[in-house]
Structure 1
Amino acid sequence: MVVFGKKVRKEKEEWVWRGKKIEQVKEFQYLGYTLKSNNSNRAHIQEMVRKANKVIGIVWGIGERKFGHGYKRRMMMFDSLIKSVFIYGAEIWGWK
Structure 2
Amino acid sequence: MVFGKGRAPHKNKWYYNGDKIEMVDHYKYLGVIFHRNGGFSKHWQETKKKTKAAVLISTLRSTKTNDIDIILRLFYSLVSSIPMYGFAIWGANYLEEIEKLQTQFLRRILG
Which consecutive aligned stretches of 4+ in structure 1 deviate over 6 angstroms post-superposition? none
Q: How many residues align?
A: 92
Note closer, same or farther for the CA distance 1:61–1:74 as it changes in structure 2 (3 Å cut).
farther
Task: Give the 3 Å change call, closer, same or farther, for CA 48–9 of structure 1 in structure 2.
Answer: closer
Aligned match of 2:60: 61
Q: Which residue of 1 aligns with 2:42?
A: 43
Shift of the 29–60 alpha-carbon distance from structure 1 to 2, 3 Å rule, reads: same
TM-score by length of 1: 0.82
What CA distance in whole angstroms lies between the structure 2 residues aligned with 1:47 and 1:20? 31
**Unaligned segments of structure 2, at least 5 residues:** 95-111
Larger Rg: 1
**Identical positions, percent:** 28
- 1:79 aligns with 75
Q: Give the structure with the higher percent helix.
A: 2
Q: Which runs of 5+ in 1 are unaligned?
A: none
Root-mean-square deviation over aligned CA pairs: 1.7
Shift, 1:75, TM fit: 3.9
TM-score, length-normalised on structure 2? 0.72
Quote the residue 1:92 is aligned against. Answer: 89
Q: Is the 8 A contact 1:26 1:37 kept in 2?
A: yes
* 1:27–1:34 Cα contact (<8 Å) kept: yes
1:7 match: secondary structure: coil
The SS at the match of 1:28 is strand
Q: What amino acid maps onto 1:77 in structure 2? A: R
